[in-house]
Amino acid sequence: MRTAALVAIFLSVPRLVAAEVDGQWHDVRRSLEATAAAASSEDLNAYIECFDARLRPQIRKTAGLRFAQFEVGVSIEDCHLLSSNESACDVAVRYTTHLSGRSFDFLSVLTLKRAEDGWKIRKETIRAWQESTVAESPFPYGASAGSSATVRSSCSSGSCSLSGR
C-alpha cells in the first residue's frame, strides 16, 4: 500500500520532457549518477564534491559518520526534470538507499545549481520515503547516501529537507 502511495506521489509531480533540454539533462543525470557512485563507494571527498560549497561542511560531518557506521549503497531508480534554466534545475528523483541490510525508497526533489565543474546539489526535499520490501540489495553490503541518512534521521513524518541557505 505504501509503495502505491509513493508511486502515486511520483506520478503526480509535473515534469518536463527531457528532450527539451537534452544536453543539460545528460549533464544533470551524470551528476546524479556520480553522487550515487561516490556514496556507494564511500568516497567521502568525491561525495561532498557533488554538493554546493555551502553544504559541504555539514555533508562532510554527517556522511563521514554514516560511511564509518554503515556499508553504503545507493541506486537511482527513476528521475525526471521538473524545471530548468541555464544555471539551475529541479529534478524529481526516486532512489533506493541500502543501510547495512535494510533498504529505503525515497522520492525527493533535488535543486541543482551549475558550477564551473558541473552540476551541484544545492537542496534536497524528501517528498516521501518508506522502508523497502526488497529482500536483497543490489550491493554486496546494504547502506545509504550521506545526505539521505542526514535528512532521514530527522524524518519522522515523511517530510523533511536539507538546504544550503
CATH code for the part of the protein at 15-163? 3.10.450.50
Query: Which pLDDT does position 15 carry in this prediction?
Result: 47
Q: Strand 72-84's sheet: what is its strand order?
A: 72-84, 88-99, 102-115, 118-131, 160-163
Task: Provide mean pLDDT across the span 140-151.
Answer: 36
For residue range 39-91, what is the model confidence (pLDDT) as tens digits? 999 999 999 999 999 999 999 999 999 999 999 999 999 999 999 999 999 99
Say how far apart CA 90 and CA 101 lie, in whole Å. 31
Tell me: pLDDT of 113 over 70.
yes
CA distances from 75 to 11, 56, 80, 116 (A): 19, 22, 15, 26
Tell me: pLDDT of 27 over 50.
yes
The full set of domain ranges for the chain reads 15-163
Question: E strand or H helix at 3, and its extent?
Answer: helix 2-12
Tell me: pLDDT of 145 over 50.
no
Q: Please, is 50 exposed, middle or buried when counting C-beta atoms within 10 Å of its C-beta (0-12, 13-18, 19+)? A: buried
